[in-house]
Amino acid sequence: MKRFYTAGLLLCVSIGLTGCWDRTEINDMAFVIGSCVDKEGGLYRSTLQIALPGNLGGSGSQGGGGGTAGNKKYYLESKTGITLHRSNFEVQAGNSRKLSFAHSRTLLIGEEFAKGGIGPMLDQFARIPQNRLSTLVAITSGPAYKIINASAPMEQFPSEMIRELMVKFAKKPVTLKYLANDMLTEGVDVSLPYISLQEAVPKDLGDKNDKKNIQITGLALFKNDELVGVLKGPEVKMVTLGLKQATTSDVVVPSPTGTGHITILFTENLVTFKPFIQGDDITMHMNILAKGAVIENNSDYDLGNEQHMKKLERQASKEMIGQIRSGLRQIQEHYRSDVFGFGRTIRQNNPRAWDRFKNRWYELYPNVKVVINTNLHVENIGAVSKPFGRKDKELEQ
């Protein structure tokens, strides 16, 4: 009898395990591979980049499941709504397949949208489990939907090219998860890659098409959750190094003596901060350790001399410090954005001092004195010590 009871119990349990009553066939799914959000008046615009599986076999393939045609491997759907969810709902209403966001790996935020604050939009991405919190986030110059539809000849999708650019730009690219974490952390503001379209070739090459390429051209600076400015120019690389995010960074150094320039690529770097506090006077020490190699020497400076190398390292330190100071001046005094996390460093090292500062931090922050200490070492000068193609009598000895 006991065996009959056991068999009956197993049979009842197995009934609930059979069948796929809630399945969704893959042919009924539309895979979103990238998305972007913009603000138009009082409405949110959501633009989704959706893969065309039938066209992924090659650039010359045509047709495929669902009636797709041509050689484009994706198409865009863009709709507006009073909320982001509503705009996505409008996109779904015009799509015969069910939208799936599980494969989306990039999120672009339009510049105008970011100026109004990005905090409220995070709820839409965190509340639905299907959305990936590992999605990489960037700010765009102008409307984001124009960037996501740009030409990307090296990748199948523009969104994938953008992702690869962000991975190469930073050691730890900012994901939705880290974005939300930094926005909720006291004493630090968010910085994100700033993406724009740049001319791929000069116009005088005779190409009738105005070719533009996607490129990271700056660093978007936030105060709380609002975009307050964009840092551009040569300072971006050194500021990124100061943010502990630089994968590699190069600096062009004027020849210590003579004429010309020497380019050094730093492939290893370590940055630490240490605060010194006296009353309301705050001094932040930024300590930079970096190792690199000479990758170009178009000067008349001979690198095969130990004293010459020491002069070169001092000159490189001077150039690095100058660029970081230039970027800091804009970030601290003009934008007042604590992207370096000076407040967080104080909170971690001296909680009592932070309790005194936190309610008036943005008043104190522009007056924080920053001392930059560098320890740079050029380990490799390449295959030749002297400038290649130059006679000895032309060199600075």
Report the distance separating Cα 277 and Cα 193, nearest Å: 32
Q: Which domain holds residue 304?
A: 233-397
Exposed (0-12), middle (13-18) or buried (19+): which is 153, by Cβ within 10 Å?
A: exposed
Non-local (6+) Cβ contacts of 14 within 8 A are none
Asked which of 196, 231, 266 is the last residue of a domain, the reply is 231
Based on C-alpha coordinates, what's the Rg of the chain?
27
Residue 21 lies in a domain: no
Band of residue 356 on the pLDDT scale cut at 50, 70, 90: very high
Most confident among 79-88, 213-222, 303-312 (mean pLDDT) = 213-222
pLDDT at 22: 60
Q: Which residues of 204-219 are buried (b: 16+ CB within 10 A; e: fewer)?
A: eeeeeeebbbbbbbbb
- Whether 176 maps to a domain, the answer reads yes
Among 254, 318, 319, 294, which Cα is nearest to 386's? Answer: 294
The verdict on 294 and 365 lying in the same domain is: yes
Please give the pLDDT value at position 30: 84
Q: Considering 165, 197, 231, which residue would you say is the last residue of a domain?
A: 231
Domain holding 378: CATH number? 3.30.300.210
- Residue 127: pLDDT above 60? yes
Q: Judge whether 18 lies within some domain.
A: no
Q: Are residues 51 and 157 in the same domain?
A: yes
76-100 pLDDT per residue, tens: 899 999 988 888 888 888 888 888 8
pLDDT above 90: residue 290: yes
Mean pLDDT of 117-125: 86
The amino acid occupying position 21 is W
- Rounded to whole angstroms, the Cα distance separating 149 from 159 reads 9
Q: Is the pLDDT of residue 69 over 50?
A: no
On the CB side of 138, CA atoms within 13 Å amount to 36
Cβ-contact 52, 58 below 8 angstroms: no
Element (H, E) at 24: none
- Domain end, chosen from 215, 231, 247, is at 231
**Do 224 and 308 fall into the same domain?**
no
How many domains does the chain contain in total?
A: 2
Q: Are residues 50 and 190 in the same domain?
A: yes
pLDDT digits 0-9 by tens, 30-40: 889 999 999 98
CA dist 34 and 106 (Å) reads 5
State the average pLDDT for the chain. 85
* 8 A C-beta contact, residue 347 and residue 258: no
Query: Is 377 in contact with 290 (CB distance < 8 Å)?
Result: yes
Percent residues over pLDDT 70 in the chain = 84
For position 15, what pLDDT does the model report?
Answer: 59
249 in a structural domain: yes
Query: Residues 183, 185, 188, 192: what is their CA dihedral angle, to the nearest 10 degrees?
Result: -30
Does 372 fall in a domain?
yes
Q: Residue 37: which of 129, 102, 95, 122 has the closest Cα?
A: 122
Question: Would you put residue 260 in left (φ > 0), alpha (ψ -120 to 50) or beta?
Answer: left
Where does the pLDDT of residue 23 fall: very low under 50, low under 70, confident under 90, or very high at 90 and above? Answer: low
Q: Are residues 183 and 39 in the same domain?
A: yes
* pLDDT exceeds cutoff 70 at 307: yes
Do 43 and 152 lie in one domain? The reply is yes
Q: What is the pLDDT of residues 145-180, one digit of tens each?
A: 999 988 877 888 899 999 999 999 999 999 999 999
% of the chain with per-residue pLDDT over 90: 53
**Whether pLDDT at 281 is above 80:** yes
Q: Are residues 221 and 267 in the same domain?
A: no
Q: Is the pLDDT of residue 59 over 50?
A: no
Domain contains 309: yes
Q: Are 331 and 218 in contact (CB under 8 A)?
A: no
In this structure, is residue 5 part of a structural domain?
Answer: no
Do residue 79 and residue 178 come from a single domain? Answer: yes
Q: Residue 389: which pLDDT band, with cuts at 50, 70 and 90? A: low
Q: What is the pLDDT of residue 397?
A: 54
Report CA-CA distances (Å) from 392 to 253, 256, 258, 259, 307: 22, 17, 14, 15, 18
- The answer on 223 and 101 residing in a single domain is yes
* Residue 271 pLDDT exceeds 80: yes
Answer yes or no: do 174 and 115 share one domain. Answer: yes
Domain shared by 158 and 247, yes or no: no
Distance of CA 196 to the CA centre of its chain: 13
Work out the average pLDDT over 54-68: 48
Angle between the N-to-C axes of helices 235-242 and 306-329, in degrees from 0 to 180, rounded to the nearest 10: 90
- For residue 173, tell me if it sits in a domain: yes
pLDDT of residue 61: 42
Same domain, 219 and 252: no
